[in-house]
Chain A
Amino acid sequence: MALDSEDEILQDFLVEADEILESLNEQLVALETQPENSDLLNSIFRGFHTIKGGAGFLSLDAMVALCHKGEDVFNILRQGERTVDAEMMDTFLKVLDILNTMFVETKSGEYPSPADPAILAQLASYLAPTVPVIPEPVVTAPVAATVTPNEATDNDDITDEEFEALLNQLHGDGAPGTVTTSPAPAPIATTKSNDDITEEEFEALLDELQGKKKTVAASQQPIIEASIPTAVLTPEIKALSPKVIISPQTANVDTAAKPAAAAKQAETSVRVDTARLDEIMNMVGELVLVRNRISTLEATFENEEMAKAVNNLAVVTADLQNAVMKTRMQPIKKVFGRFPRVVRDLARSLKKDINLELRGEETDLDKNLVEALADPLVHLVRNAVDHGVEMPDVREKSGKSRQGLIVLAAAQEGDHILLTISDDGAGMDANVLRQKAVEKGMMDEETASRLTDSECFALIFAPGFSMKAEISDISGRGVGMDVVKTSISKLNGVIDIKSEVGIGTTLSIKVPLTLAIMPTLMVMLGDQIFAFPLVSVNEIFHLDLTKTHMVDGQKTIMVRKKTLPLFFLRKWLTSSFNPSGKPEIEHVVIVNVGTQRVGFVVDQLIGQEEVVIKPLGALLQGTKGLAGATITGDGRIALILDFPELMNTYANRGY
């Protein structure tokens, strides 16, 4: 029987489970460094407990069985009867991986397949606190697999004698223990000998775990407690995939005294399908276009009242656009959250010692962007661990601390997000890269020698350019750096690399806040309007065409002592290109394409405009170099350029 993956209840569960799995991931990694942190242990215990509860509700028995075991083990851990060791950590992370797999199965509408009995047995073995029990085949008797929950709880399948026998096996001497008959297809005997604990000890333990002081303090201030329910009842602000939750920005503090209002405060968020948000965003986009149109028309009227109204419309539209954009925002934590685990696992397998620092996790960006950035970032971080940070011994020799540092940071800068991945590793040697480029036949020695250092670093994004002689399975993974660059470019993002030998490498990625509405620079080529994504535009200047040079058959210009290739866009994009009779002064727009800067000659500059990207019509579909189309303020159609593709298609150098 398959699950109905569209079922609302299932979706609800998946959203919550997804969130818990993600925090479990972080918490488990954190646990490795602070194994005795009781808050952490409690929290992980509850994580398993809550997933188990939800899975139980939906009869996802395999998930229940696994979570149940995890919960039991963490119950032992949080009661201090056992402490976490590295081997246990590996098991837990394995458990988490299995849970994630089950989660994916469930998401795709299948009942999760039961976990490997070995891992369940492994978990069960942690439940005997003092004696390290080696899981014997007897314990995980195959009969357990066929036991249905009811039979298990009813004790139908196992007689007292059998129980005793199992107990004896586990305890060695038949010590009185309590037997849990697991209500799920799991190894049947879970034994605990922790029942000897006295009431007082238990109480003391409970108080310790729950922070007795806190509750005492609370009871002494009943008045304050009663008057601040809104502060206590934080609305669930969850930013989740695949759905985004909108939570009201204005918590009504005044209604706190009214019980009914307070009750409603308990759940103030509404779950909205992202498709609906996309729809709203699209309509707001249309509104932006209408506003642009009206603003343009208004200019011809010279009517003050009209101008006021139009201004008002502009303000409201901008606010609305902002508000809608915010509903689609998710903290980048969503992506960052998986990195501690990634770095830990990788560093462990490479025998490196690496500390990962996350900064600006709360930075919000568009949900689609968060998802689109996940893979490239994973690749770059893996790269930093694999190629960036050196082995501990090597680091020590070069006078660094044995532990390497990788900093992953996010920050909002105006209308874009800046992401940086920096390591304090060996850095890249520009000369090595030059040599490599020549070896690979990508360019001749002369060209290579003319490359600036940063252009050399950019070479790692070229297709087929691998830094390591043999591709390790770590950085390999089927995604090359060129794919990373392509995906970032697709998001209208730019990548920049800075590296210093012996000091480290910093990669910065700039992406726009949202994909739906794009600030652009409108230009004219002939009588046609084109839109440049503003995020790629570096600078604009007037160019004396007599000051260009030819290098390798490529027209170039010098801008502040830097040589940039120069292209005539009208040659590529309009049919009316007439080389003769061209003016001596042209407008040049310097654009970032990936890590490269190039100049484009345009006929006329119109100005900045926010546009909504519309897909191209059937006739133009698939035209290289065009990202889409939009409607301008004066009602005309403008084509939006896709620079990386444009360069690939028309320029003879493959940046």
Chain B
Amino acid sequence: MPPVRVLIVDDSGFFRRRLSEIIARDPRLQVIGMASNGLEAVTQVSLLKPDVISMDIEMPVMDGISAVRKIMAQHPTPILMLSTWSTEGAKSTLEALEAGAVDYLPKRFQDISDDTNIAHQLLCQRLHDLATNSHTNNLPTAKVSSILHAARPPYATANQTTNGPIRLVAIGTSTGGPVALQVILSQLPSDFPYPILLIQHMPAAFTPSFAQRLDTQCKITIKQAINGEKLVPGTAYLAPGGMQMIIKGTKISSIVEIQTGQSDQTYKPSIDLTLESLIPMCPAETLVIILTGMGADGREGCRQLRPLGATIWAQDKQSSTIYGMPMAIAKADLADKILSLNDIAHRLAELR
């Protein structure tokens, strides 16, 4: 296999050289160019046609977000944002994702792992995966606006789409999730009759901003879940980053419990953990949706919930930014339906 061709974009020469060194150590990757601002990046992309781009946000001349927007409009390419994991960083990163960037990693590699080697490997792995797994023609850009006007096939009753009456919706996602969630949630009516649990793999610094951002974009209420609060219909609860969201109580009165994430847990929040907590609640009346993302989180939870009667939808390959988690569901034969992002949005909006 020819190596994945990487374009590095950063205004700091120091950082460009470090990234270049790290990437050069991975035989699967090859640095084919570097740009020191967004405008250079746009030019370089059209000349070099890289397989994947690592992109800084703060740059002179043209910032990373504008560059992502331009690149996605001209030469759609998987872009990995290297961002600051702070509230400010969250805002700009989410904006970059909305502009079409596929994924993000912290610029401070200690935020990935204290072991620099692990951090470097993860960076390389991520670049490699994005280049080989993401669907360039299907990168999330522009879908947000166009989908609203897509033709809506009629769904007569909820019974046609789910295995029975529903009390609770749980959506789990990872890479590509922020935009996918935005697409789905922004179509739900304000009187959506069920509470929604959102489990998005995301660092702690990002989830408050993400919840806030979704809330302004959607008719339903979206908030970061708070320990001890009661689930109410028409509200989506985003699992806080670095934590685990567990549901307790009875099926009439369900309470959120936020637990501190353990260092041995791969995902914080973990879709599996939240789903497993639903077993004693109302498994038969739960709709689980697994959206785009790398890995297989959510599969074990679904494996346990499905025999108890839960309905499970998985996003299809064509509309997934990264067809990993939905594929795991599909391959394990756990999905009741495999749907495009559009279909998921419409069917969910029709649920009554």
Contacts and interface: CB of A to CB of B under 8 A. Distances in A.
A79 B183 CA distance: 29
Nearest to A236: B13
Contacts of B87: 178-180, 192, 195
A183 B227 contact: no
Contacts of B226: 160
A59 interface: yes
A222 interface: yes
A262 B205 CA distance: 38
A42 interface: yes
A267 B47 contact: no
B242 interface: yes
B58 A49 contact: yes
A145 interface: no
B203 A259 contact: no
A236 B37 CA distance: 13
B255 to A, nearest CB: 15
A398 B65 CA distance: 57
B14 A12 contact: yes
Interface residues of B, number: 57
Contacts of B209: 178, 195
Nearest to A46: B58
Nearest to A233: B40
A195 B90 CA distance: 12
Interface in A231-265: 232-233, 236, 259-260, 262-263
B90 to A, nearest CB: 9
Considering residues B11, B35, B58, B109, which has the most beta carbons from chain A within 10 angstroms of its beta carbon?
B58
Interface in A57-85: 57, 59, 64, 68, 72, 75
B91 to A, nearest CB: 8
Interface in B197-250: 203-205, 208-209, 212, 216-217, 226-227, 242-243
B95 to A, nearest CB: 8
B16 A267 contact: yes
Given A42-B60, A215-B62, A181 B47 contact: no
Interface in B238-272: 242-243, 260-261
A160 B227 CA distance: 9
Contacts of B108: 53, 56-57, 64, 183
A215 B85 CA distance: 27
B15 A178 contact: no
A422 to B, nearest CB: 35
Given A16-B12, A229-B43, A181 B205 contact: yes
A16 B11 CA distance: 11
A263 B49 CA distance: 11
B110 A222 contact: no
Given A16-B14, A50-B12, A54-B14, A222 B46 contact: yes
Interface stretch (A151-159, A566-574, A642-650): A151-159
Contacts of B205: 153, 180-181, 183
Contacts of A236: 13, 36
B289 interface: no
B33 interface: yes
B115 interface: no
A622 interface: no
A155 B243 contact: yes
B60 A226 contact: no
B242 A153 contact: yes
B86 interface: yes
A154 B204 contact: yes
A569 B32 CA distance: 66
A45 interface: yes
A473 interface: no
| Chain A interface extent, by class | 35 or more
A218 interface: yes
Contacts of B39: 218, 232
Interface string B78-97: 00000011111001000000
Interface in A255-294: 259-260, 262-263, 266-267
Contact of A154 (B17, B107, B242): B242
Given A53-B15, A225-B43, A226-B43, A45 B242 contact: no
A220 interface: no
B216 A199 contact: yes
Nearest to B65: A206
B48 A259 contact: yes
Nearest to B47: A259
A262 B48 contact: yes
Contacts of B15: 50, 53-54, 57
Contacts of B91: 202
Nearest to B216: A199
A307 to B, nearest CB: 49
B133 interface: no
A9 B66 contact: no
B111 A183 contact: yes
B85 A183 contact: yes
B216 A45 contact: no
Nearest to B59: A46
Interface string B84-126: 1111100100000000000000011111001000000000000
Given A153-B111, A232-B39, A263 B85 contact: no
Contact of A12 (B17, B74, B109): B17
Contact of B40 (A54, A150, A160, A232): A232
B35 A266 contact: yes
B152 interface: no
B35 to A, nearest CB: 7
A154 B242 CA distance: 6
A16 B63 CA distance: 20
B136 interface: no
Interface in A345-400: none
A212 B326 CA distance: 39
A210 interface: yes
Contacts of A183: 85-86, 108, 111, 205
B70 A75 contact: no
Contacts of A43: 60
Interface string A161-184: 000000000000000001111110
B34 interface: yes
B88 A75 contact: yes
A149 B227 CA distance: 24
Nearest to A191: B87
Contacts of B63: 210
B44 interface: yes
B18 interface: yes
Nearest to B205: A153
A75 to B, nearest CB: 6
Interface string B41-54: 01110111100000
A202 B91 CA distance: 10
A578 interface: no
A153 B89 CA distance: 13
B212 A178 contact: yes
A219 interface: yes
B110 A149 contact: yes
A465 interface: no
B20 to A, nearest CB: 9
Contacts of B74: 222
Contact of B204 (A42, A49, A50, A155): A155
A24 to B, nearest CB: 14
Contacts of B66: 210, 215
Given A53-B15, A198-B216, A260-B32, 8 more contacts: A50-B15, A54-B15, A64-B108, A68-B86, A181-B205, A225-B42, A229-B44, A266-B40
7 contacts: A12-B13, A75-B88, A155-B242, A178-B209, A215-B70, A222-B74, A226-B46
The 9 A-B pairs with the shortest beta carbon distances in the complex, nearest first, are A263-B33, A56-B108, A266-B34, A16-B14, A50-B12, A180-B87, A259-B47, A178-B87, A54-B14
Interface of B: 11-18, 32-36, 39-40, 42-44, 46-49, 58-60, 62-63, 65-66, 70, 74, 84-88, 91, 107-111, 114, 203-205, 208-209, 212, 216-217, 226-227, 242-243, 260-261
